[in-house]
Amino acid sequence: MGRVPMPLFRPRILGGVSGLPQTELSMPERQVIVFENRPRWAPALQREFVESGIRVRACRTAQVLLNLAATCRGHSDSFVAIIDFEVGPATCLPLPARLAEFSPQGVIALGTAETDVLEPSLRELGVTSYHPASIESRRLAHECQRILNSQHG
């Protein structure tokens, strides 16, 4: 059996009058999914994107990252995945290739001094942008926005 295509528009549950939910048809979202072991980048990016309409999602496990990516694909949402290599290279190295099946607009790796030598290999695995973990949150937000805008322009 063939797959049923997902609709371009989907209902979203909104707060309603007297607590009853309301739905609306909405355009696909633009999202940034941040895989990190402690809340650092996700809160910083949420502050950077507060008025942009870009949703930031944080996750602490590889499986949650892949689940969020699958949800974005299922809803036709554009997304950028950020992988913070402070989580550990053994956990992070397989993720760019595993994310490819969900068609991210970009995969950004935030490296450590130990992973800097892996940058060329990471690009071969599907990383579209590599930065040291010392990058400023404003610059990282700009990179995410640039990637998302390049797909919507």
> How far is C-alpha 116 from the chain's CA centre?
21
Residue 17 pLDDT > 50: no
Compute the average pLDDT of residues 91-118.
96
Q: Rounded mean pLDDT of the chain?
A: 86
- Picking from 102, 103, 121, 101, the residue whose alpha carbon sits closest to that of residue 111 is 121
pLDDT value at residue 27: 67
CA 42 to CA 125: how far, in whole Å? 24
Q: What pTM did the predictor assign?
A: 0.82
pLDDT value at residue 16: 38
Query: 10 Å Cβ neighbour count for 152?
Result: 9
> How far is C-alpha 80 from the chain's CA centre?
4
Indicate the pLDDT class of residue 152, thresholds 50, 70 and 90. low
The secondary element (H helix, E strand) that includes residue 124 is helix 119-125
CA 119 to CA 130: how far, in whole Å? 7
- Picking from 140, 73, 57, the residue whose alpha carbon sits closest to that of residue 105 is 73
